Chain A
Amino acid sequence: MITVSGLTKKYGDRTVVDDVSFELQPGTVTGFLGPNGAGKTTTMRMMTSLVAPTAGSAVIDGRLYAELPNPGAVVGTLLDASAVHPGRTGRTHLRLLATAVGVPASRADEVLEMVGLSDAANRRIGGYSLGMRQRLGIAGALLADPPVLMFDEPANGLDPEGIRWMRDLLRAHAGRGGTVLLSSHLLGEVEHTVDRLLVIGAGRIVADGPVASLLGGDGTTVRALDSSSLAADLKAAGLPVEAGAGGALVVAGTEPSQVFAVAAAGGHVLTELRPTERALEDLFFQLTTAA
């Protein structure tokens, strides 16, 4: 388990990360969202001892990252895909990492095949595209098959196939009991990948919880063959009805079962009945703008 407690970073008078606390449980994929400059990358760098915090701590199974016996074997990180020497080949780069992490050199070829870079292994990284560098970074993080993966914007430069592959990778990793922290600006991709959301704005955590509860609204969305008649019956039943997008009716403060009961009593044919959900994009802007 990863525990972040009161993590704070100040540069002079400027506070870039302000009292950030959260826990990451094994078997979960956590999305770390926030606008540019919100403090996501600085938080991740403090968690991995690249930046000294002004206050607070981040521990992995009770230890600071720098105190882990072999950090690369515990936490696989991708914080900056361009942090590679352009003069080295992909294979050379990974073999150097393999020595540092303590896995056989042959593991480099295994992870190259996993990420689809076998054909480019002997090419200099300087000639790689952004997506190839991203995949190389993911390969480096996977060398030791660590229990924790920490990725900062991993989908940058990936094509749709690559994004789907990465989503499957992260879900499979969590499915095997691993822990994943993933920061991204691609809200749609995050929504389909993560179990839990951490939203940071102006250096502070503004939301922390399961995706379903954060995106779940308080109400029911319903469509019927005769929406106007249904709306009248719902109002007659004392339920607040508002027009929603695309001809739907939104009944605030109700469970779907309540709406269904009214609809059934009036003999209405329903074409859609579900709890009202907010779009992740709406939640993101609502929370981060307020911060």
Chain B
Amino acid sequence: MTNILIDAPRPVVRSTRASAPTLVGLEIRKSLSTRSGKAVALAAAVLAPVVVALISLSGEPLDAVNGPIGALGMVTALVLFPLGVLATAGEWSHRTVQTTFLLAPNRTKVMITKVAGVAVMGALLAAIASALTTAVLLVAPVGDPSWAGVPLAVGVSVAAGAAFAVIGAGAGAALANTPAALTGLYLTILGAMPALRIWKPEVADALDPSNAVLQLATGHGTTANTVTLVGWVVVTTVVGTVVTRRRAVA
């Protein structure tokens, strides 16, 4: 260790708090600075195009490509849950939330920047996945399918990527436990919702965000589907923010 403490020039320090864009950028860097974050990002970007490439090897012709793009967009969105969960619950699990709140004591602002950060990443990764999926379909042996509705399917996929990442962040903040948040989300979306669809299909239609994405992406969506997605985003974010504000940092 050096003894340059006394004579070392003082660093230039910002006199104000970090701006919102700075904090959003910081959250994105934090998410991509770990192996788990990078793995989720990579999986989200390449899973859909890899799946469509494998499916296309069967040689079965497609009638239209907007359906596969939308469906795989929904798959990409499901892969983006962990991105959000790690951004919030991951901080509690590793106790880095202590440093985060020491440097940015306004917890509502921290949650907003985390939500914004994962939304940007979710949208970007979903856009990359959709672009790669479209590129694969352009060259894959899938016959001469219709390309109508592709812009809508891509747009919904990008929005779903952002939405599901935000839902993950909200759930992660509410539970402050990465395994619990991920298990809860996947059990709900992939377990409870299909079961509900068998028992009360109209209720499942109103509550299931993955079904809402599929309907919207394939051009069969309604205002109710949009409300479902927005409702999930708002409720998880608000609950996650309220809980974060009240939870003591141990």
Contacts and interface: CB of A to CB of B under 8 A. Distances in A.
Interface of A: 45, 48-52, 65-66, 69-73, 75, 77, 79-80, 82-88, 92, 96-97, 99-104, 107, 110, 113-116, 135, 140, 143-145, 161-162, 165, 168-169, 172-173, 175-176
A103 B13 contact: yes
B12 A103 contact: yes
Contacts of B8: 110, 114, 145
A66 B8 CA distance: 29
A48 B102 contact: yes
Interface residues of B, number: 42
B58 interface: no
Interface stretch (B73-81, B103-111, B130-138): B103-111
Interface of B: 1-6, 8, 10-18, 22-23, 25-26, 29-30, 33-36, 90, 94-106, 248-249
Contact of B26 (A49, A84, A100, A175): A100
Nearest to A93: B33
A162 B22 CA distance: 35
Contacts, number: 125
Given A50-B98, A84-B96, A86-B94, A73 B1 contact: no
Contacts of B36: 87
A83 B13 contact: no
B13 A114 contact: no
A80 to B, nearest CB: 6
Contacts of A113: 2, 4
Contact of A101 (B2, B3, B4, B13): B13
B14 A102 contact: yes
A184 B40 CA distance: 41
Contact of B5 (A65, A71, A114): A114
Nearest to A98: B11
Chain B interface helix/strand/loop/mixed: loop
Contact of A73 (B14, B23, B95, B97): B14
A113 B3 CA distance: 10
Nearest to A137: B99
A80 B95 CA distance: 9
A147 to B, nearest CB: 10
Contact of B106 (A48, A66, A88): A66
Contacts of A169: 5
Contacts of B25: 99
A82 B249 contact: no
A83 B96 contact: yes
Given A82-B95, A100-B26, A102-B13, A88 B5 contact: no
Given A87-B35, A92-B33, A165-B1, A101 B103 contact: yes
B96 A85 contact: yes
A248 B104 CA distance: 57
B1 A115 contact: yes
Contacts of B95: 80, 82-83
Nearest to B26: A99
B105 A70 contact: no
A140 B98 CA distance: 13
The 3 closest A-B pairs by CB, nearest first: A102-B14, A66-B105, A87-B34
Contact of B18 (A80, A102, A162): A102
A80 B33 CA distance: 21
B13 A99 contact: no
Contacts of A114: 1-2, 4-5, 8
Contacts of B249: 45, 50-51
A50 B99 CA distance: 10
A110 B2 CA distance: 10
B248 A50 contact: yes
Nearest to B100: A100
Contacts of B101: 49-50
A45 B26 CA distance: 24
Q: Which of B29, B90, B98 has the largest count of A CB atoms less than 10 A from its CB?
A: B98
A103 B102 CA distance: 16
B26 A77 contact: no
Contact of B13 (A73, A85, A97): A73
